[in-house]
Amino acid sequence: MSQPVAIVTGAGRGIGRAVAIQLSALKYDLVLVSRTASELEATRRQCVPEAAVMPADVSSAQQVDDLVLRAREKFKRIDVLVHCAGVALARRADQMTQEEWRATIDTNLSAVFYFSRLLWPIWKSQGGGVMVNVSSLAGRDPFEGLGAYGAAKAGVNLLGVALAREGKSENIRVHTVAPGATDTVMFRSLVGPEFPQDRILDPADVARVIVQCVRGDLVNTSGEVIYVHK
* Average confidence score pLDDT of the chain: 94
What are the phi and psi torsion angles at 131 (to 5°)?
-120, 130
Q: pLDDT tens-digit profile of 35-71?
A: 999 999 999 999 987 899 999 999 999 999 999 999 9
pLDDT for the residue numbered 1: 55
Cβ atoms 66, 44 nearer than 8 A: no
pLDDT for the residue numbered 230: 84
Per-residue pLDDT, averaged over 13-24, amounts to: 97
Q: Percentage of residues in the chain with pLDDT exceeding 90?
A: 86
Q: pLDDT tens-digit profile of 177-198?
A: 999 988 888 888 887 777 888 8
Per-residue pLDDT, averaged over 173-180, amounts to: 97
Q: What architecture is the 5-228 domain classified under in CATH?
A: 3-Layer(aba) Sandwich (3.40)
Q: pLDDT tens-digit profile of 151-165?
A: 999 999 999 999 999
User: 221, 216, 144, 215: which is closest to 178 by C-alpha?
Assistant: 221
Rg (CA), the chain: 16
pLDDT for the residue numbered 119: 98
For the chain, the structural domain boundaries read: 5-228
Tell me the torsion sign for CA atoms 142, 155, 100, 53.
positive
Q: pLDDT tens-digit profile of 195-208?
A: 888 888 999 999 99
pLDDT for the residue numbered 65: 98
Candidate list 28, 114, 149, 227, residue with the active-site label? 149
Exposure on the CB side of residue 39, measured as CA atoms within 13 A: 17
Cβ atoms 180, 228 nearer than 8 A: yes
Q: pLDDT tens-digit profile of 83-130?
A: 999 999 889 999 999 999 999 999 999 999 999 999 999 999 999 999
**Residue 149 is among the residues annotated as catalytic for this protein:** yes
pLDDT for the residue numbered 181: 86
